[in-house]
Chains A and B, each alone.
Chain A
Amino acid sequence: MKNQLLKFNSSYLHQAASVVGSKERQGPLGEKFDSFSEDDRFGQDTWEKAETEMVKRTVEALIQKSEIEWDDIDAFAGGDLLDQCIATSHAMNNNGVPYLGLYGACSTAAEGLIIGSLLAEKGFTVGTVASSHFCSAERQYRFPLEYGSQRTPTAQNTVTGCGSFLLNSKKSDVRVKEAIIGRIQDNGISDANNMGAAMATAAIDTILRYFKKTGRTEKDFDIIATGDLGQEGLELGKEYAKSLGLILGSNYVDCGMLIYDLKTQEVGAGGSGCGCSASVFAAEIYPKIKNGEYKNALLIGTGALLSPKSIIQNKIIPSVAHLVCFERV
């Protein structure tokens, strides 16, 4: 029972929407996001409200793009990085849609897609959302924004971004084929400035479990995208996989490296946060599956499950990685 593969027959990813901040807009994928805010406060007076506003805008964009009404959605599942997921729950306030709150750290987007696919299988029309905001995350996990500190090169930059997806059982171009729920692992890393290293083994574990279970190999996929391992985690993961007999080639990418230009944007090892894989998948990968450029794609949402308290207490970082397999119908 340890290695259960979730198989879906009638779950389709119908639409995706993304909203980002100014830094992400300046990145290599800038033009592809549905909208962005030049002002990282999104016109609000606190960072928490700014993130809530970003979630609201993303969900509105999703509904508009899908050409449906709020009443057509049977359930919404989503989350963010803030304590008790307040950004998402405040954004969902009073919209009348049944809501499931999710916390999977940076793996929330993939977790949402799995839950969404399960509900879609039951005939639900489900929306999922995952968001993170650099400023609110920085406040919660690190130092005040204006505090003068130096970052280590392995540290990652929390993405100001939000991605939202609509799943249902109506046949469309992108089918959610399979999924593997990740298991929580720790590899001994307790350095919050090296989350890529903490999550790399969890990602490889999930990929290996998936290949073992399905008999497929990395060559069967046009793209294998991890959530936010960053440069450090990606390289470490590759080396690690190699030592386990799995050679990951050029079809293996990381959303945290796609969203920024690592050379010019001063983002350390790359992007991180729930919004990283959510916005990159919504703006870059999903459209390419839809237009047929990718026939088979894997999204591996990686999450470092740490809290501000656990960092101070120097606890080891438990990590998780959920895998979702998409197929162009």
Chain B
Amino acid sequence: MSRELYKFCLFVQIISAEWGDFLNRQEYIEFAESRAKRTTSLKNCIWAFVVGGFICVIGQLLVYAYMNVVKEEKTAYSLTSVTLVFLSGLLTGIGRFDKLASRAGAGTLVPITGFANAVASPAIEAKSEGYIKGVAAQMFVIAGPVIVYGSASSVIYGIIYYISMKIAGQI
């Protein structure tokens, strides 16, 4: 519907009755959304690419470093994840992570750092309700759905994997 027609409809509404009762909600939502300021996708993408990429570079460097020490790939990868989670938790604790994430968006959210922040931030804040009713109870308020559906889908994945392997005669 064109803007002029929309205005005309509103005009009819106001002269015909108390306009609030006859407000066309769908039109209003579209009108409000059409003029709402949007985030600049390109800027966000560049930020996310650079910061997300930088985190991955740090991760890769950590893998190399740990490989020199432990000489075993699997352990080096685990230690890298643990280190990144620690760093993310530390930055959350000293109040820096949210400032970076407000610009980097998916760049900090998608790597394991985002998950660590999602657990650490409610835990820090819930301290005011104590360690049991606060920290422990509210720690997974944001990450909870990821854990629940992540575990559930991994079980389903496992079952499908098992059956298809059985059919293929591998086990």
- Which listed residue (A149, A194, A197, A235) contacts B102, Cβ 8 A? A149
Interface flags, B87-131, vs A, CB<8A=1, else 0: 000001101011011111100110000100110111011101000
With the chains together, A17 CA to B114 CA distance in Å?
Answer: 42
Asked if A244 contacts B14 (CB within 8 A), the reply is yes
Tell me the nearest residue of chain A to B6, going by C-beta.
Answer: A243
Asked if A189 contacts B32 (CB within 8 A), the reply is yes
A98 at the interface (CB under 8 A from B): no
With the chains together, A86 CA to B18 CA distance in Å?
Answer: 37
Asked if B101 contacts A188 (CB within 8 A), the reply is no
B166 at the interface (CB under 8 A from A): no
Interface centre among A139, A187, A316, by most B CB within 10 Å? A187
Interface flags, B6-25, vs A, CB<8A=1, else 0: 11001100100011100101
At the interface with chain B, which of A42-50, A54-62, A72-80, A111-119?
A42-50
With the chains together, A255 CA to B16 CA distance in Å?
Answer: 33
Interface flags, A139-171, vs B, CB<8A=1, else 0: 100011111111111100000000000000000
CB within 8 Å for A194 and B39 given contacts A149-B102, A205-B20:
no
Interface flags, A278-306, vs B, CB<8A=1, else 0: 00000000000000000000000000000
* Chain B nearest Cβ from A31, distance in angstroms: 27
Residues from chain A with Cβ under 8 Å of B109 in the complex: 148
- Which listed residue (B29, B44, B105, B117) contacts A189, Cβ 8 A? B29
Chain A interface SS verdict (over half): loop
Asked if A147 contacts B98 (CB within 8 A), the reply is yes
Asked if B39 contacts A143 (CB within 8 A), the reply is no
Residues from chain B with Cβ under 8 Å of A186 in the complex: 25
With the chains together, A236 CA to B37 CA distance in Å?
Answer: 12
- Which listed residue (B19, B32, B93) contacts A197, Cβ 8 A? B32
Contacts across chains A and B counted by CB atoms under 8 Å:
107
Tell me the nearest residue of chain B to A3, going by C-beta.
Answer: B18
Tell me the nearest residue of chain B to A209, going by C-beta.
Answer: B18
- Which listed residue (A144, A148, A197, A208) contacts B101, Cβ 8 A? A148
CB within 8 Å for A188 and B25 given contacts A146-B97, A146-B124, A243-B7:
yes
Asked if A154 contacts B25 (CB within 8 A), the reply is no
A185 at the interface (CB under 8 A from B): yes
A277 at the interface (CB under 8 A from B): no
B28 at the interface (CB under 8 A from A): yes
- Which listed residue (A45, A145, A205, A232) contacts B19, Cβ 8 A? A205
- Which listed residue (A45, A47, A146, A245) contacts B98, Cβ 8 A? A146
* Chain A nearest Cβ from B107, distance in angstroms: 10
- Which listed residue (A146, A154, A201) contacts B92, Cβ 8 A? A146
Asked if A148 contacts B128 (CB within 8 A), the reply is no
Interface flags, B24-38, vs A, CB<8A=1, else 0: 011011001001111
The size class of the interface chain A forms with chain B is 35 or more
With the chains together, A286 CA to B115 CA distance in Å?
Answer: 48
A183 at the interface (CB under 8 A from B): yes
Residues from chain B with Cβ under 8 Å of A205 in the complex: 19-20
CB within 8 Å for A154 and B117 given contacts A144-B125, A148-B101:
no
Asked if B105 contacts A150 (CB within 8 A), the reply is yes
* Chain B nearest Cβ from A324, distance in angstroms: 20
Interface flags, A244-275, vs B, CB<8A=1, else 0: 11000000000000000000000001000000
Residues from chain B with Cβ under 8 Å of A144 in the complex: 121-122, 124-126, 142
CB within 8 Å for A152 and B39 given contacts A143-B121, A144-B122, A201-B23:
yes
With the chains together, A80 CA to B11 CA distance in Å?
Answer: 37
Asked if B125 contacts A145 (CB within 8 A), the reply is yes
* Chain B nearest Cβ from A188, distance in angstroms: 3
- Which listed residue (A150, A239, A243, A316) contacts B11, Cβ 8 A? A243
Tell me the nearest residue of chain B to A152, going by C-beta.
Answer: B39
Residues from chain A with Cβ under 8 Å of B97 in the complex: 146, 148
12 contacts across the A-B interface (CB closer than 8 A): A143-B121, A143-B142, A146-B117, A146-B121, A147-B118, A149-B98, A153-B38, A186-B25, A201-B20, A236-B32, A244-B11, A244-B19
Contacts from B to A (Cβ < 8 Å): 6-7, 10-11, 14, 18-20, 23, 25-26, 28-29, 32, 35-39, 44, 92-93, 95, 97-98, 100-105, 108-109, 114, 117-118, 120-122, 124-126, 128, 142
Q: Which 7 A-B pairs have the closest CB atoms?
A: A148-B101, A188-B25, A46-B128, A146-B121, A153-B37, A147-B121, A197-B32
